Amino acid sequence: MRCTGAGGCLVAVLLASCGNDGSSRSGPALDPRPEVQTCLPDIAEGMPARLSDTECFTDLKTLEPGPDLIPYEVNAPLWTDGAFKPRFLVVPSPEQITIRADDSWAFPDGTVLIKVFGFEFRKGDPESRRAVETRFMVRRNGAWEYSTYEWNDEGTDAALLEKRKVVEYTIERGSGSEVIEYGFPEYDDCVTCHGSEIDDVLGPKTGQLNRERDYDGVVANQLVAMAEIGLFALGTDEEINPDAEPRMANPPKGEGTLEEQARAYLDANCAHCHRPGAYADSAEHGLDLRYEVLLADSGICDPMKYFTEWAGLPRVAPGDPDGSGLMQRFVLDGVLRMPSTGTSTVDPFGTALLRDWIARLTTCP
């Protein structure tokens, strides 16, 4: 997979869609995996001090991905203060991903998951798009290791961070501006969501990746494209049939029913903590916001707990968004707002989606 647009890859990759120049081509959507890994070929030595030394990108200025990076997109993205997030994975050949019965994926040692975070610093001006952070999850000795890099202002390289850091970024919006308090996580922040009792890879799973993607002019289902290059451990007579696989609703594209879109949004933004075995799992919470869990079994219709000002308030009151604890938590300022990590601003799209869904509910469940 390569970016071929006349302006290079920067704008296209930062939009999480490694661009094409409007032309089409034939052939496989993805190139075969190289026999020799170039991205972090010797992870036993630890993460390099600079992003350029990982050899995961062939050109940092344009964010041209290396030959073993496989791009992917998700149906329901996590809100991160409006950041756009190109995503890549590396699975060393000939290793394969095992798809579990619950839709999650088991990755082999040597797997590298990469997410680039960037902002459009002048809204409406694609030339103002710039990467600010690149995060890594590396599978080694049966466990995940987490690292993050902070990009310089010139967009030429990024430095490995050892500690949590908050940077204020100003986003220009017409005649006004917005200040985002952007948090660079340290290890303890990562394990809050990823390091629970379960094998927490949050984005790459069947329902999230079961969608079409434009691979430089070849539009293909991501699962099929990955299966074609041997990425999945399948039986001899087994193949990927997207129509028979789980598929989450896509809220940004308006795909799925209103309830499916709302549930997909809650899965992406809340279920990493609110599900069995995760950070906020407890008998007292009784909240499981995974997409595949029936609404009646999710606990979302139960009354709020712990917070005196909302004690007894239903999490979701059918037809009454303002009387729903869920909405109260989403629109708050400060530490009580949800999601509680990874964001400093309210998501206008997500809150509007949830408000619309609750307003149209007649019963819960």
For the segment 338-354, what is each residue's pLDDT rounded down to a tens digit? 776 768 888 999 999 99
Asked which of 19-23, 97-101, 283-287 is least confident by mean pLDDT, the reply is 19-23
Q: What does the pLDDT average to over 85-103? A: 95
What CA–CA distance (Å, rounded) separates 205 from 4?
Answer: 28
Residue 66 contacts by C-beta under 8 Å, 6 or more apart in sequence? 38, 39, 55, 56, 57, 58
**Residue 73: which residues within 8 A CB-CB, separation 6 or more?**
16, 17, 87, 209, 211, 213, 222
Predicted confidence band of residue 20 (pLDDT cuts 50, 70, 90): very low
201 or 290: which leads in pLDDT = 290
Q: Residue 201 — very low, low, confident or very high, per pLDDT cuts 50/70/90?
A: confident
59 neighbors 174 (Cβ within 8 angstroms)? no
Q: Average pLDDT, stretch 207-229?
A: 97
**Is 60 exceeded by the pLDDT of residue 11?**
no
* pLDDT, greater one: 365 or 80: 80
Report residue 191's pLDDT band, with 50, 70 and 90 as the boundaries.
low
State how far the Cα of 122 lies from the Cα of 54, in Å rounded to an integer. 30
Strand intervals (E) in 230-351: none
pLDDT score of 13? 47
Please identify which residue in the block is written with the tokens 């344009």.
62
- Is the pLDDT reported for residue 88 higher than 70? yes
Placement of tokens 């990009």 in the chain: 151
Average pLDDT, the chain: 86
**Which pLDDT tens digit goes with each residue over 150-185?**
999 999 999 999 999 999 999 998 889 999 999 998
Q: Which two tokens stand for residue 104?
A: 């999650």
Is the backbone peptide bond immediately before 318 cis, with ω within 30 degrees of 0?
Answer: no
Kindly report, residue by residue over 46-79, the tens digit of the pLDDT.
Answer: 899 999 999 999 999 888 999 999 999 999 999 9
In whole angstroms, what is the distance from residue 17 CA to residue 5 CA?
A: 12
CA–CA gap between residue 240 and residue 14 (Å, rounded): 29
Q: CA 92 from chain center: how many Å?
A: 21
Confidence band for 279, pLDDT divided at 50, 70 and 90 = low
List pLDDT tens digits, range 282-326: 555 678 999 999 999 999 999 877 665 666 789 999 999 999 988
Q: In this predicted structure, what is the pLDDT of residue 133?
A: 98
pLDDT of residue 18: 41
Q: What is the largest CA-CA distance in the chain?
A: 61
Which tokens belong to 309? 């000002």
Q: Are 314 and 307 in contact (CB under 8 A)?
A: no
d(CA 79, CA 284): 27
Residues with Cβ within 8 Å of 302's Cβ and at least 6 positions away in sequence, in order, are 286, 287, 314, 315
- pTM (predicted TM-score): 0.89
Burial class of 205 by CB neighbour count within 10 A (0 to 12, 13 to 18, 19+): buried
